[in-house]
Structure 1
Amino acid sequence: MTATRSGTYDNIITADTAGFDLACDLLRAGGLVAFPTETVYGLGADATNGKACAGIYEAKGRPSFNPLIVHFSDKAAAAKRVIFTSQAEKLAQTFWPGPLTLVLPRQENCDIAPICSAGLDSLAVRVPGHPLAHQLLEQIGLPLAAPSANASGKISPTTAEHVASSLGNRVSCIIKGPACTVGLESTVIDLTGSAPVLLRPGTLTREDIEAVVGPILLGQSLMECKAEELSGTEITTTGLKSPGLLKSHYAPRLPLRLNARHVLADEALLSFGSIVLAGAAVTLNLSPAEDLREAAANLFAALHELDSRTDIAGIAVVPLPEHGLGLAINDRLKRAAAPR
């Protein structure tokens, strides 16, 4: 049976039996396969194959010091490669499968390619909750290294078409699924030290995590992006143990202006709730109902849509709440607006 190609791009395939068979064959041969997760599309490679994982860095133009998250079909498969602490056990039991990544010490006999750890003795691991991601992991029977399936530093993809537009034929195939429901990359918690550290905020908020394991610290990279709001907050400094920690990341082609109180005639406006400024060339509202989950799910798709326009010179973003999931949304926006 031949996999069915879907849409304009000839490397987008349908998520049927033939499509999954083709994807598994390509992965086993060292190829790259993009697939949907509940967060964003991932660019997958056999995590036990160092050469295949190096292909991820090459395809994305990704810095070699930026580690990769490895995806597993279940917690038992992950436990063969990393050492679970008591806190990790609690978090995995509560939030897996789902949008949570844990950074844990590698097992001594870990078969995951060292390139995934970027030279560290830790590994970032996750069990995704998306049914198509789970089906792929179950069928191939291998862990998959899978950062977001976009050119390094650019807007993360939430549709198959976003992937194809960003990476083109550098991807062997792209499994087409519905738009990603969460729309932001996973929350990342470092559990290799004496206390849990929030490295990257996501749809699972700091409050969600602390309800399970107690107080957590904020990583240095997050502190730098939020310096003006974190006066007096306890922080800790860690190495680059997770993706998504570079100061400039998730960046559109057009300049991004945050906390806008006015908008220019040649700018697009990214609004939220009732904050709609007059005078923009075009306006997209992340959530008219002021629902932060809806805003998170719409963020990258809205940036893709506005960034593709040729009739605007920039994108202005209204202030968004800093509490709960707003922390993750603002983290992505501040990195997207950072000097490049």
Structure 2
Amino acid sequence: MKTLILKANEIDQAAAFIRKGELVSFPTETVYGLGADATNEAAVKKVYKAKGRPSDNPLIVTVSSVEMVEKYVQKLSSDARNLIKTFWPGSLTMIFKLKPDALSKTVTGGLDTAAFRFPNNQMTLDLITKAGVPIVGPSANTSGKPSPTTAQHVYHDLKGKIAAILDDGPTTVGVESTVLDMSVETPSILRPGAVTKDDIEAVIHRRVIDELHHVGAKQTPKAPGMKYKHYAPDAQVYIVDPDSDWHDVAQWIAQHPQPVGVMAFDDTIKSIEWPDNAHVISLGNDATTAAQDLFAELRDFDNHPEYKTIFTQGIDPVGIGEAYMNRLNKSAGQMHFKQL
């Protein structure tokens, strides 16, 4: 299969692919998604095959209107409607209880709930509207690898496996949306993102649980990223915690003959005299730029197999820093510099 890269004036062609049951990657403000007609079970199964994704890992349903959500879910609560009014379109995904047999178990991972997302990207909203159906929307990468933040990342992983990629340039947020479970009595964040616990509580004026980011080996996750290793490059990533001394990191690198990757903030980079075998990449100046750059820089290291180790700066998990650290911990498999 030839994979086409399409621009904004070619959305009709992308929508035709979706209606025919083919796969199309689409841009959002967070990462690029992999789209298929959410009402076409055969098309949805192609998503799992293209990504190499476990079948019990449910898919997010991406929509272009609230009416599209209401077609499939039970009655939306007043809290849900207030969150929709505040954060949609945007990087908040919400899990709702479904009407009986509303969506295939292939979409839901066998659950009676599904996660819905209304992204802040006009190309994708036009794609869904023209296709006339909601689309499933996992990240458009090989399962377990860093999520794609450009069309080129998608092409690298999925060329020959999907019909097309809608190219809208680099994403702006860089980490996936917040996933909020609204199907339970107390709303619960299952995956942190740019919309924070404080943001949500300020809208609904009640407590939100924010400690449910993992499930056990025999449990079916309600949201992506809760069970399997994610976002990992081929090299081993180690987190350098805020209380660690980067001079110790530089000394460790100097004692090893092979090249070593470093991803850190500008002030950290400037404060250290790096050995010649250190390849140092900037994460900018704060949590926002770090989140934007994390996946792209991890992916770049995969193009250089000589790097077997990457040290990456850890930060306090506050605001979008929580989403950054969530993804970084999964990329590193919870490994930290002091564990070496």
Same fold (TM over 0.5): yes
Aligned with 1:269 (options 262, 287, 292): 262
Whether the aligned pair in 2 keeps the contact of 1:201 and 1:328 (CA below 8 Å) is yes
Distance 2:4 2:316 in 1: 37
Can you give the 5+ residue segments of structure 1 that lack an aligned partner in the other structure? 1-8, 225-237
CA deviations over 1:224-274 (Å, ceiling 9, x no partner): 9xxxxxxxxxxxxx9510111125111111110111631415211010241
Whether the aligned pair in 2 keeps the contact of 1:222 and 1:331 (CA below 8 Å) is no
1:223 to partner: Cα distance: 9.2
Q: Tell me the TM-score normalized by structure 1.
A: 0.87
Distance 1:182 1:220 in 2: 22
Structure 2 residue 231 is the aligned partner of structure 1 residue 250: yes
Distance 1:115 1:298 in 2: 32
Aligned with 2:87 (options 88, 95, 108): 95
Distance 1:247 1:180 in 2: 24
Match of 1:106 in 2: 98
Alignment of 1:168-247 (within 5 A): 168-213=159-204, 214-222=206-214, 240-247=221-228
Residue 216 of structure 1 aligns to which amino acid in structure 2? V
Residue 180 of structure 1 aligns to which amino acid in structure 2? T
Percent of aligned pairs sharing the same letter: 37
Whether the aligned pair in 1 keeps the contact of 2:62 and 2:119 (CA below 8 Å) is yes
Distance 1:208 1:338 in 2: 28
Alignment of 1:74-153 (within 5 A): 74-83=65-74, 84-108=76-100, 110=102, 112-153=103-144
Structure 2 residue 163 is the aligned partner of structure 1 residue 166: no
Structure 2 residue 13 is the aligned partner of structure 1 residue 22: yes
Structure 2 residue 40 is the aligned partner of structure 1 residue 49: yes
How many residues of Structure 1 are paired with residues of Structure 2 in the alignment? Answer: 315
RMSD: 2.1
Give the 3-state SS of the residue equivalent to 1:268 in structure 2: strand
Cα pair distance change 1:223/1:59, threshold 3 Å: closer
Match of 1:316 in 2: 311
1:321 to partner: Cα distance: 2.4
CA deviations over 1:16-41 (Å, ceiling 9, x no partner): 43x22221121111110001111100
Distance 1:80 1:216 in 2: 26
Whether the aligned pair in 2 keeps the contact of 1:184 and 1:296 (CA below 8 Å) is yes
Give the 3-state SS of the residue equivalent to 2:240 in structure 1: coil
Distance 1:93 1:14 in 2: 31
1:222 to partner: Cα distance: 4.8
Match of 1:306 in 2: 301
Whether the aligned pair in 2 keeps the contact of 1:221 and 1:247 (CA below 8 Å) is no
Give the 3-state SS of the residue equivalent to 2:83 in structure 1: helix
Distance 1:168 1:158 in 2: 16
1:172 to partner: Cα distance: 1.0
Q: Tell me the TM-score normalized by structure 2.
A: 0.87
Whether the aligned pair in 2 keeps the contact of 1:247 and 1:338 (CA below 8 Å) is no
Structure 2 residue 52 is the aligned partner of structure 1 residue 61: yes
Cα pair distance change 1:123/1:330, threshold 3 Å: same
Distance 1:34 1:327 in 2: 27
Distance 1:188 1:101 in 2: 5
